[in-house]
């Protein structure tokens, strides 16, 4: 028994042996087979004999295609399929039937012995077909009937980008979805994204609102489609829909033609490279720059009289190799790191049951030499649909994930990069170059120590998430087309963080007596555990009605009641440990801390009534009305309920006879105009602000030797405070020409919000001593345009499609509560009403002084009367012509935040067994500014990056900089010690276009597969961020500098963020 | 069909059970009645007032304020002493901090006023003594806030009662400034109320009768000196003529008398720390570290578990002696020489005295000085302050020629003087600079040859001297100050009270190991005693201002250090008095005697005009 346990357990070092992994996979397969294989094998279709030829035309999923054309090749006469995809034609052996359907590749069938057959049609690659059923809020619609601005990313289009974050896989693929990946740090999922620049969208996965992190952590193989609701089509989600909705639907099984099931296995192996990792100067260069900086005495504008910081004799020691220079960045990084993804899924079904089981594993390593940042994740899913009885269908969806991010303990990742970039190259990694003794560094931040988890301790962040959903659907008797549905979802999330900080020794070497002095730092060792848990339940009761009257009137209706209940709880505790056992149980009693994050403790209830009515006449005139009545426990009883209606309408002009007479439907297969208008809300910023009283605990004091918690008054409260209200308007046109040769859509939208939270406190004297509560005061409007063009074609044996999209979006304040301005300039600069948001104010760059004569002749005072200026220094434009550069010369120079214009271009092609897909993605009207090390050499008296060596400096390093006769060598940066760049010199245009992904695949020919017993086998090579075209220097455009709305300086974004990666992958997917 | 009925029934029950009400109260919000009807509630309320009291403790920064949770609160070296010449340090100039940080704590004053107004309504729930004590604490705290305001801005609006919006109009709420004198009177009367209501003894960290009296002696002394010296040395302006800044000279005596009387009330209830008079140096150092000191009147405590610990140990001595952090401010030779004149580092012929051991310099210096400042050669945690600016291969000539520290003398030229930025650089197998400094590169080693010793916890292991690991109490009011307040008020009042001043000063000098004062005691020597006794205790900046001498003391002034060098050919050390290597000039503009009223407040309340002179 003991032996059995041992072999099935993790190895004691915590790693899982490969053999165990394999056994797990095969074991799982066996279970699936036993459970489902047997009964399904019995479901063989019975052969039907007879004349004429009968057939069924199916789509790629085995669903019937109604209205497909089946014609004789010889005379082009024929028929179309019925609602079941079936047709019947008199035919003789040898006749060739041509089967075609819009959006699908043409198929030919030679009539042989069999008089009954099925044809599976292959879709043309591209942006979907008019008869595709797409997912919308609380339902589905045929694409042809959609009246809202809804974009869809299908599974096959999603997975051609290989990335650890599902959100990054969406980049550039649909217009209006703006995605900016900030770093490639394993497990941080550091990507900001929005729809049309509107803010954080609502994420709904299989009908359940979920967190952004849950979307990022999905296994791409479990996703069937992603719908992006951009306009009033989102209004059906009411108070949470103001920023649009991303709907994700997971895969389901399908009735399999021969009753068999498919096992699909895929593996993706990637190697990451790191983009724009900064490079530090060496010791000699560092000393040169430092001496240069301190040579200039700015007090007297002359060469300093004091000794150079680094004497020639000292510098010579580095030049001749007596003392060694340290490259801190290289000391901690490696050129590449691996990343692996496995997925195994099983799908199948018969008339009664279908199922989809999925198991995924992902692991990613980091650029640290020690790989001390790393991440791994398991995903699982079981989606089962059962026809319980004739009129009753059940759906059981169970899914979850568990993941873990490891990183060195005690320090943020950005700090490690900061120190690697700014520590002195004159400091050795090891005291006296002896690798036993890590050298003492400022802030104890010897980077080589910081990346060593064994030494400094380790943090891990684990998430566990479980979702279980049961749905029952009942076709009500008596009323045809009426269905009742009940759904209940239970969600459980756990975040479990453990941080161990260990004390360790750093050393100084004392040459005088040849000793190493140890300093114990990071003491005391601590272990900190944080535990957050939350539950969410969602219950829906709905009635769905769908019917056609008189063959022309299509009516649909939905009435749904929804109730959700969310709770959250957490705790955190910390103990010091002295025995070396990094667990709470082994901690010391002294200084132990138990606490809780008050924001993590909550309970909310929401109730909603949702309705939708759709009507269309012959599929020509489309109308839809939706509403939602939302109530939330977070608002005061006086402002608790909100009503959110929306109207959507469409007109398929291409179905009008007058247009068909004008332009043949063969040329213009689709032309639709549509418009939508609806109200939505956003309750995210409002949390119990109407409740008066005190927050507890607040700042307290140690009285009588014990800490006594204080409390904080909640001040004046506002009973009427409520969610902010938003109105979305969209008008668009969709068109398809020449059977796919040209298609596309154009949308114009506005979103107007009012009731944005602001305080009138700016007007209330501080002596009152109270802050006014927030009120629903401000308003803004976002507007923009999206254009999508598609082209698909088959030339000889090459089938290809191209799809390009571009979107523009900007937000303008409509009303902004303001304080009285002190001057007309302040009022010009400070007044935000009717002004675009995210404006960057600063100086306009003039140039670099080229000579002393230019400095003397320059009529504008750039500071200190230009007395301390030397050639190479920056000057700025005196826009108000007052002869001085000061704050009054600041004007709007750029926009901050996510780029305003985003574009993407996808290309997909197939030739024989090969397939190719390319995604170009980019953005413009996009600006970044970098701070600290990326902006200033010798920042805080520390080291510099190599880019700053390209600087203005006297040709003779000992020459007097202030002597007009001194000869200067020009460079990109000014002389070290001169003012650093600001304004348009520092704010760089980050416009870029990059090959976001490139994939080449090869599918093995059927003959070979049959021999090997596979159904399908495809191998591919892929690259992510293969190449980038940008004018930005020394950084990656997506890697942020100082960005963020109204955010002057966010240190964690100051360019120290973990770098972006480029990956090269190979992989295979196999079905059997 | 039956099965379906069962299923339906089950679903109905499930739905009924899961139905919830929308009235879900938030879980962490409490109400007035929960607080004022129970003792622990009132104590929590008072704790939040004490917790926000503007005590200029270890983490106070004159340009950033009281740093509650700010990331800068580890930087204990942003010390006001670096503005006034006690220390040289991180500030580039006096201008960086002299105009303050927009202090305007009326939200905290409202919290006090709310208690004063609300507690009586709930008085029946408590004993009269309890209510008296809490009301007394509230008056004390309100006075504390107003004193912190008046010493910065002069006259500011006195808000005695709760103001309400929107019940009161904004116009009504735009209250005007009160006169500086009226504010001091208001502080005096609040402290008198506190004295009346409070008990004789207090819980550590809270107010008692004598705590209130001690603070009254401080506040009234300020008012007295401002009245006496304030009129003549100011930028003129509306605020001055209207009395918003400045106090009529005629009232000086009244305030000095009040200061003297208040100080006298404290007598007998506290005493100087004299537990180890056999070793006066050690005794003086311990006075700041021993929590049981009878000298402590009002202290602020810190702890690791409450997240309030500070970083004095980590950021006032060099990194070599701590486990983290860095230092940035260093005592000046000017301060050191206040104690007993120039140090014996120059021979009669003007050449630098040669020392075999740097520690020899410490012989014969005042114990209080040695307990205030770490000298070269002193030890801490078993480590030596091996301060060394560099190595002279040879040294000839006088000490005076090296005074300017400009690298131009024959001793410094031609590679005779070796200096380094790090102790890792060697000359003949010997470290060029000491592990404790002085570095040519960073300012995180001493720039003056000295380090601060006061409050440094020498008993702490080096590994425990990390950031946010120091928990020694900050003594905001100690009996020594009360004696100094008493002596200064006595001298200003003149006459028979001079003897009382001498007695007070001699208590301090005896404890310090200094020579006793005689009848020649003057106001200036009392002031000098204050500078020495209260060095680095955040007093000198305010003292310079109230004495109205800051503009003369800091007039293009540069401060000096005492930098040790090793002379290689002789194997000896020399100490050179030199301008500290920052070579910073300190200037105090006359307008700095008051800070400007915060700009945002002027925008919201036009009745705060006129602003202070010069702004």
Per-residue model confidence as pLDDT tens digits over B267-288: 999 999 999 999 999 999 999 9
Would the CB atoms of B417 and A598 count as touching at under 8 Å? no
Q: Reply yes or no on whether the pLDDT at B221 is more than 60.
A: yes
Is B170 close to A765, i.e. CB distance below 8 A? yes
Give dist(CA A55, CA A110) in Å, integer.
12
pLDDT digits 0-9 by tens, A996-1008: 999 999 999 888 8
Binding-face residues of A in 462-491 toward B, CB within 8 A? 472, 474, 486, 488
pLDDT, residue A558, reads 96
Written as six digits, the tokens of A409 are 């303990």
Cβ–Cβ below 8 Å for B424 and A428: yes
Q: Enumerate the residues of chain B whose CB falls inside 8 A of the CB of residue A314.
A: 420, 425
Q: Indicate which of A515, A710, A719, A939 best probes the interface with B, i.e. most B CBs within 10 Å of its own CB.
A: A710
- Exposed, middle or buried by CB within 10 Å (0-12, 13-18, 19+), for B320? buried
Average pLDDT (A153-179) is: 93
Mutate to test the interface with A, among B14, B199, B291, B324 (most CBs of A within 10 A): B324
| Contact by Cβ (8 Å): A834, A813 | yes
For A580-612, what is each residue's pLDDT tens digit? 899 999 999 999 999 988 888 899 899 999 999
The pLDDT of A427-435, averaged and rounded, is: 93
Tokens 């740090």 locate to A185
Q: How confident is the model at residue A11 (pLDDT cuts 50, 70, 90)?
A: very low
Q: Which residue has the tokens 């000490």?
A: B399
Most A CBs within 10 A among B165, B584, B615, hence the mutation to make, goes to: B165
Using alpha carbons, select from B113, B138, B141, B129 the residue that is nearest to residue B54.
B141
> Which has more pLDDT, B331 or A90?
B331
- Say whether pLDDT at A127 is over 70: no
Nearest CB to A708 within list B43, B52, B440: B43
Cα angle at A174 between A169 and A177, to 5 degrees? Answer: 80
Q: In the prediction, which pLDDT does A25 show? A: 44
Asked whether A295 and A961 are in contact (CB, 8 A), the reply is yes
pLDDT above 60 (res A38): no
| Residue A37: band (very low, low, confident or very high) from pLDDT cuts 50, 70, 90 | very low
Tokens (6 digits) for A201: 């969208």
Q: With contacts defined as CB-CB under 8 Å, which chain B residues touch A768?
A: 106, 110, 163, 165, 173
- Yes or no: say if A252 and A173 are a contact pair by the CB < 8 Å rule: no
Whole-angstrom CA distances from B293 to B258, B270, B271, B297, B533 are 27, 9, 9, 9, 16
Determine the average pLDDT of the residues in A866-892: 90
The residue among A569, A694, A720 with the most chain B CBs within 10 A of its CB, best to mutate, is A694
What residues in B contact A771, CB-CB < 8 Å? 107
Q: Which of A444, A767, A822 has the CB atom closest to B157's CB atom?
A: A767
B134 pLDDT higher than 50: yes
A295 exposure class (CB count in 10 Å sphere: 0-12, 13-18, 19+)? buried
Contact B540, B534 (CB under 8 A): yes
Tell me which architecture the domain covering B103-269+585-615 has in CATH: Alpha Horseshoe (1.25)
Q: From the CA of A416, how many Å to the nearest CA of chain B?
A: 16
Burial of A659-682, coded b for 16+ CB within 10 Å and e otherwise, reads eeeeeeeeebbbbbebbbbbbbbb
What does the pLDDT read at residue A1? Answer: 41
**pLDDT at res. A18:** 45
pLDDT tens readout for residues B565-578: 999 999 999 999 99
End-to-end CA distance of chain A: 36
Q: In three state form, how does the secondary structure of A471-517 look?
A: EEEEECCCCCCEEEEEEEEEEEEEEEEEEEECCEEEEEEECCCCEEE
A714 vs A520, higher pLDDT = A520
Q: What percent of chain B clears pLDDT 90, i.e. is strictly above it?
A: 79
Residue A779 pLDDT greater than 90, yes or no: yes
Arithmetic mean of pLDDT, B523-538: 97
* Alpha-carbon distance B412 to nearest alpha carbon in chain A (angstroms): 9
The mean pLDDT of B415-426, rounded to a whole number, is: 87
Confidence category of residue A106, pLDDT binned at 50, 70, 90:
confident
Nearest to B30 among A309, A694, A768 (CB): A694
Q: From A712, A719, A635, select the one nearest A681 (Cα to Cα).
A: A635
Q: Is the pLDDT of residue A48 over 80?
A: no
User: Residue A36 has what DSSP assignment?
Assistant: I
Q: DSSP states of A975-991 as a string?
A: -TTSPPP-HHHHEEE--
CB A940 within 8 A of CB A1027: no
The answer to whether B421 contacts A426, with C-beta atoms less than 8 Å apart, is: yes
Between B7, B28, B44, which is nearest A601 by CB?
B28
The answer to whether residues B4 and A392 touch, using CB atoms and an 8 Å cutoff, is yes
* pLDDT at position A116: 76
Q: Which residue has the higher pLDDT, A834 or A127?
A: A834
Q: Do A702 and B303 touch (CB under 8 A)?
A: yes
Which pLDDT band holds residue B4 (cuts at 50, 70, 90)?
low
pLDDT of A1049 > 60? The answer is no
Q: What single DSSP character describes residue A33? A: I
In the predicted structure, residue B104 carries a pLDDT above the cut 60: yes
Q: How confident is the model at residue B237 (pLDDT cuts 50, 70, 90)?
A: confident
Q: Are A788 and A815 in contact (CB under 8 A)?
A: no
d(CA B280, CA B366) in angstroms, rounded, equals 9
* Chain A residues with beta carbon closer than 8 angstroms to that of B18: 488, 537, 539, 563, 565
Top residue of B109, B323, B465 to mutate, by most chain A CBs within 10 Å, is B323
Please identify among residues 572-591 of chain A the ones whose CB lies closer than 8 Å to any CB of chain B: 591
* Closest Cα in chain A to B418: A311
* Long-range interactions of A89-98: CB distance < 8 A, separation 24+: A89/A52, A89/A53, A90/A51, A90/A52, A90/A53, A91/A52, A91/A53, A96/A72, A97/A53, A97/A70, A97/A71, A97/A72, A97/A73, A98/A70, A98/A71, A98/A72, A98/A73
CB contact under 8 A, A702 and B301: yes
Q: Measured at the alpha carbon of residue A182, what is the angle toward residues A180 and A188, in degrees to the nearest 5?
A: 115
- Can you give the pLDDT at residue A21? 43
Among A497, A493, A494, smallest CA distance to A461 is for: A497
For range B325-338, the mean pLDDT = 95
Give the pair of three-digit tokens for residue B547.
């004495």
pLDDT in tens, A715-735: 888 888 888 899 999 999 999
B204: nearest CA partner in chain A: A704
Which candidate from B48, B323, B412 shows the least CB-CB separation from A710? B48
Kindly list the residues from chain B whose CB atom is less than 8 angstroms away from the CB atom of residue A607.
Answer: 22
State residue A7's pLDDT score. Answer: 39
Are A501 and A456 in contact by the 8 Å Cβ rule? The answer is yes
Average pLDDT, whole number, for chain A? 87
Res A344 pLDDT > 80: yes
Domain ranges for chain B: 103-269+585-615, 318-474+558-579
Separation CA A52–CA A276 (nearest Å)? 68
Give A282-312 as a 3 state SS string: CHHHHHHHHHHHHHEECCCCEECCCCCCCCH
**Separation between Cα atoms, residue B150 and residue B145, nearest integer Å:** 9
A496: Cα within 13 Å, side-chain hemisphere: 9
Interchain pair B431, A426: CB under 8 A: no
Helices assigned H by DSSP within B495-560: 498-512, 523-533, 540-546, 550-553
Number of A to B CB contacts under 8 A, please give it: 266
pLDDT band at A878 (very low <50, low <70, confident <90, very high): very high
A736 close to A668: Cβ distance less than 8 angstroms: yes
Give the span between the Cα atoms of A506 and A517, in whole angstroms. Answer: 8
- Please answer whether residues A914 and A891 qualify as being in contact, where contact means their C-beta atoms are separated by less than 8 angstroms: no
φ, ψ of residue A525 in degrees (nearest 5): -65, 135
Tell me whether the omega of the peptide bond preceding residue A874 falls within 30 degrees of 0, making it cis: no
Average pLDDT (A473-488) is 90
Look at B92 and A903; give whichever has higher pLDDT: A903
Q: What is the ipTM of this complex?
A: 0.93
Q: pLDDT tens across A750-772, in order? A: 999 999 888 875 578 999 998 88
The first and second tokens of residue A973, run together, are 């940066």
**Tokens 């590994």 found at:** B463
Percent of chain B surpassing pLDDT 70: 97
Cα angle for residues A1058, A201, A176 (degrees, 5° grid): 85
Say yes or no for a CB contact (<8 Å) between A637 and B601.
no
Residue A22: which pLDDT band, with cuts at 50, 70 and 90? Answer: very low
Q: Which residue among B48, B430, B603 places its CB closest to the CB of A512?
A: B430
Residues of A with Cβ-Cβ distance to B4 under 8 angstroms: 389, 392, 474
What string of H, E and C letters represents the secondary structure of A215-262? HHCCCHHHEEEEEEECCHHHHHHHHHCCCCEEEEEECCCCCCCCCCCE
pLDDT band at A29 (very low <50, low <70, confident <90, very high): very low
The CA distance from A115 to A113, in Å, is 6
Mean pLDDT over B600-607 rounds to: 90
List of residues 6+ apart from A674 with CB closer than 8 A: A146, A147, A148, A622, A648, A649, A650, A651, A730, A731, A732, A733, A734
Q: Which residue of A has its CA nearest to B3?
A: A389
- For residue B14, is pLDDT > 80? no
């Amino acid at each position: 028994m003991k032996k059995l346990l041992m072999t099935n357990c993790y190895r004691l070092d915590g790693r899982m042996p490969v053999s165990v992994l394999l056994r797990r996979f095969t074991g799982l397969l066996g279970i699936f087979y036993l459970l489902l294989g047997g009964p399904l094998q019995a479901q063989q279709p019975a052969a039907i004999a007879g004349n004429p030829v009968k057939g069924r035309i199916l789509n790629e999923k085995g669903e019937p295609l109604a209205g497909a054309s089946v014609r004789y090749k010889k005379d082009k006469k024929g028929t179309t399929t019925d609602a079941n995809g079936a047709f019947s034609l008199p035919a003789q052996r040898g006749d060739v039937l041509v089967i075609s359907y819009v959006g699908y590749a043409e198929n030919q069938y030679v009539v042989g012995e069999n008089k009954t057959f099925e044809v599976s049609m292959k879709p043309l690659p591209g942006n979907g077909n008019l008869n595709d059923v797409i997912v919308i809020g609380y339902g589905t619609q045929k694409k042809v009937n959609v009246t809202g601005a809804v974009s869809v990313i299908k599974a096959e289009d999603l997975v051609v980008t290989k990335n650890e974050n599902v959100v990054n896989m969406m980049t550039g693929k649909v217009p209006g979805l703006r995605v900016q990946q900030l770093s490639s740090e394993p497990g941080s999922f550091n990507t900001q994204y929005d729809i049309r620049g509107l803010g954080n969208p609502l994420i709904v996965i299989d009908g359940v609102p979920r967190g952004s992190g849950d979307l990022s952590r999905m296994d791409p193989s479990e996703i069937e489609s992603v719908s992006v609701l951009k306009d009033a089509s989102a209004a059906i989600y009411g108070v949470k829909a103001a920023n649009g909705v991303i709907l994700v639907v997971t895969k389901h099984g399908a009735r399999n033609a021969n009753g068999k099931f498919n096992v699909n296995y895929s593996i993706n192996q990637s190697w990451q490279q790191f983009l724009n990792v900064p490079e530090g100067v060496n010791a000699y260069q560092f000393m040169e720059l430092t001496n240069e900086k301190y040579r200039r005495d700015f007090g007297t504008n002359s060469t300093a009289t004091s000794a150079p910081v680094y004497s020639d004799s000292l510098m010579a020691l580095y030049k001749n190799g007596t003392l060694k220079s340290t490259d801190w960045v290289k000391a901690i990084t490696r050129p590449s790191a691996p990343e692996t993804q496995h997925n195994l899924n099983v799908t199948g079904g018969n008339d009664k049951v279908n199922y989809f089981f999925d198991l995924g594993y992902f692991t990613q390593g980091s650029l640290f030499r020690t790989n001390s940042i790393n991440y791994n994740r398991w995903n699982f899913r079981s989606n089962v649909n059962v026809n319980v009885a004739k009129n009753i269908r059940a759906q059981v969806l169970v899914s979850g994930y568990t993941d873990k991010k490891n990183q060195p303990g005690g320090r943020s990742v950005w700090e490690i990069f900061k120190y690697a970039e700014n520590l002195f190259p004159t400091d050795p990694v090891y005291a006296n170059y002896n690798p036993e003794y890590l050298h003492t560094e400022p802030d104890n931040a010897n980077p080589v120590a910081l990346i060593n988890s064994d030494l400094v301790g380790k943090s891990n962040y684990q998430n566990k998430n479980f979702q279980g959903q049961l749905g029952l659907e009942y076709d009500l008797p008596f009323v045809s087309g009426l269905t009742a549905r009940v759904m209940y979802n239970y969600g459980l999330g756990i975040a479990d963080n453990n941080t161990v900080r260990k004390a360790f020794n750093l050393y100084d070497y004392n040459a005088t007596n040849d000793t190493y002095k140890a300093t114990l730092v990071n003491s005391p060792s601590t272990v900190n555990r944080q535990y957050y848990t939350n539950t969410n339940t969602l219950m829906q009761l709905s009635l769905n009605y769908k019917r056609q009257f008189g063959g022309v009137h299509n009516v649909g209706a939905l009435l749904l009641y929804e109730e959700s209940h969310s709770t959250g709880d957490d705790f955190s505790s910390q103990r010091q440990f002295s025995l070396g056992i990094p667990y709470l149980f082994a901690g010391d009693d002294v200084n132990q801390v138990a606490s809780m994050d008050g924001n993590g403790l909550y309970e909310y209830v929401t109730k909603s009534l949702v309705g939708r009515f759709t009507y269309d006449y012959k599929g020509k005139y489309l109308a839809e009305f939706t509403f939602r009545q939302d109530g939330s426990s977070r608002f005061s009883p006086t402002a608790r309920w909100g009503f959110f209606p929306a109207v959507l309408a469409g007109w398929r002009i291409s179905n009008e006879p007058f247009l068909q007479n004008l332009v043949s439907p063969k040329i213009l297969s689709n032309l639709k105009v549509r418009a939508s208008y609806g109200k939505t809300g956003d309750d995210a910023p409002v949390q119990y602000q109407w409740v008066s009283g005190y927050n507890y605990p607040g700042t307290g004091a140690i009285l009588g030797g014990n800490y006594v918690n204080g409390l904080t008054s909640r001040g004046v409260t506002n009973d009427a405070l409520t969610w902010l209200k938003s109105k979305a308007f969209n008008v668009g046109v969709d068109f398809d020409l020449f059977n796919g040769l040209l298609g596309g859509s154009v949308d114009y939208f506005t979103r107007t919000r009012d009731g944005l939270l602001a305080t009138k406190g700016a007007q209330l004297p501080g002596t009152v001593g109270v802050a006014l509560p927030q009120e629903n005061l401000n308003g803004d409007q976002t507007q923009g345009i999206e254009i999508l063009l598609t082209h698909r074609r088959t030339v000889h044996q090459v089938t290809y499609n191209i799809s390009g999209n571009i979107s523009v979006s900007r937000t303008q304040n409509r009303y902004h509560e303001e304080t009285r301005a002190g001057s007309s300039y302040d009022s010009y600069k400070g007044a935000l009403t009717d002004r675009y948001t995210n404006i960057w104010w600063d100086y306009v760059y003039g140039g670099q002084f080229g000579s002393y004569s230019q400095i003397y002749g320059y009529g504008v005072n750039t500071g200190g009367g230009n007395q301390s200026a030397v050639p190479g220094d920056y000057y700025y434009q005196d826009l108000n012509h007052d002869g001085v550069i000061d704050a009054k010369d600041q004007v709007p120079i750029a926009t901050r935040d996510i780029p305003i214009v985003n574009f993407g271009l996808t290309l997909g092609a197939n030739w024989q067994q090969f397939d190719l897909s390319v995604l170009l993605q980019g953005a413009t009207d996009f600006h970044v500014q970098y701070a600290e090390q990326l902006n200033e050499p010798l920042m805080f008296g520390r080291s510099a990056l190599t880019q700053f060596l390209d600087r203005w400096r006297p040709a003779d390093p000992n020459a007097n900089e202030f002597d007009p006769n001194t000869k200067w060598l020009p460079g990109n940066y000014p002389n070290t010690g001169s003012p650093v760049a600001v304004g348009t010199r520092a704010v760089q245009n980050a416009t870029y276009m990059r090959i976001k992904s490139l994939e080449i695949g090869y599918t093995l020919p059927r003959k070979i597969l049959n021999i090997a017993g596979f159904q399908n086998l495809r191998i591919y090579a892929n690259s992510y961020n293969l190449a980038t075209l940008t004018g930005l220097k020394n950084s990656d455009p997506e890697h942020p500098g100082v960005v963020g709305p109204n955010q002057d300086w966010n240190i964690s974004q100051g360019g120290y963020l973990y770098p972006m990666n480029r990956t090269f992958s190979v992989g295979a997917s196999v079905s059997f | 069909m039956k099965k379906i009925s069962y299923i339906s029934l089950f679903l109905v029950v499930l739905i009924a059970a899961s139905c919830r009400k929308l009235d879900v109260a938030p879980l962490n919000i409490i109400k007035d009645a929960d607080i004022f009807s129970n003792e622990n509630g009132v104590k929590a309320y008072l704790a939040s007032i004490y917790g926000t009291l503007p005590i200029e403790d270890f983490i106070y920064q004159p340009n950033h304020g009281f740093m509650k949770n700010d990331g800068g609160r580890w930087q204990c070296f942003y010390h006001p002493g670096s503005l006034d010449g006690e220390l040289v340090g991180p500030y580039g100039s006096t201008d960086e901090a002299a105009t303050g940080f927009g202090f305007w704590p009326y939200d905290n004053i409202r919290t006090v006023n709310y208690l004063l107004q609300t507690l009586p309504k709930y008085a029946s729930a408590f004993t009269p003594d309890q209510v008296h004590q809490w009301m007394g604490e509230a008056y004390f705290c309100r006075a504390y806030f107003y004193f912190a305001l008046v010493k910065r801005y002069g006259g500011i609006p006195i808000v005695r009662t709760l103001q309400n919006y929107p019940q009161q109009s904004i116009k009504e709420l735009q209250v005007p400034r009160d006169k500086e004198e009226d504010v001091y009177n208001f502080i005096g009367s609040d402290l008198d109320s506190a004295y009346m209501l409070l008990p004789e003894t207090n819980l550590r960290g809270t107010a008692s009768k004598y705590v209130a009296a001690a603070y009254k002696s401080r506040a009234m002394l300020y008012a007295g000196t401002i009245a006496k010296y304030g009129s003549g040395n100011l930028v003129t302006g509306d605020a001055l003529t209207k009395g918003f800044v400045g106090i009529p000279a005629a009232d000086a005596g009244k305030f000095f008398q009040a200061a003297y009387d208040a100080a006298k009330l404290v007598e007998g209830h506290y005493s100087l720390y004299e537990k180890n008079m056999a070793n006066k140096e050690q005794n003086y150092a311990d006075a700041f570290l021993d929590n049981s000191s009878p000298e402590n009147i009002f202290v602020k405590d810190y702890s690791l578990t409450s997240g309030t610990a500070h970083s004095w140990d980590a950021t006032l001595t060099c990194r070599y002696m701590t486990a983290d952090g860095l230092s940035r401010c260093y005592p000046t030779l000017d301060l050191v020489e206040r104690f007993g004149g120039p140090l014996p580092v120059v021979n009669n012929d003007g050449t630098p005295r040669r020392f075999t051991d740097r520690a020899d310099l410490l012989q014969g210096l005042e114990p209080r000085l040695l307990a205030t400042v770490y000298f070269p050669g002193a030890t801490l945690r078993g480590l030596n302050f091996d301060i060394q600016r560099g190595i002279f291969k040879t040294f000839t000539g006088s000490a005076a020629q090296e005074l300017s520290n400009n690298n131009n003398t024959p001793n410094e030229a031609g590679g005779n003087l070796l200096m380094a930025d790090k102790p890792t650089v060697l000359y003949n197998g010997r470290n060029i600079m000491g592990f404790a400094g002085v570095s040519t590169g960073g300012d995180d080693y001493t720039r003056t040859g000295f380090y601060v010793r006061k409050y440094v916890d020498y008993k702490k292991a080096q590994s425990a001297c990390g950031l946010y690991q120091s928990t020694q109490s900050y003594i905001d009011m100690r009996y020594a100050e009360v004696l100094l307040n008493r002596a200064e008020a006595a001298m200003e009042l003149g006459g028979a009270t001079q003897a009382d001043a001498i007695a007070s000063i001699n208590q301090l000098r005896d404890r310090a190991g200094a020579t006793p004062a005689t009848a020649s005691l003057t106001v200036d020597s009392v002031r000098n005693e204050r500078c020495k006794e209260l060095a680095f205790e955040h007093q000198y900046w305010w003292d310079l201002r109230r004495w109205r001498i800051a503009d003369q003391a800091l007039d293009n002034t540069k401060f000096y250090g005492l930098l040790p060098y090793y002379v290689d050919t002789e194997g000896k050390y020399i100490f050179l008095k030199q301008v500290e290597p920052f070579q910073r000039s300190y200037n105090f503009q006359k307008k700095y005697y008051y800070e400007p009223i915060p700009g945002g407040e002027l925008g919201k309340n036009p009745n705060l005009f006129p602003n202070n002179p010069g702004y």
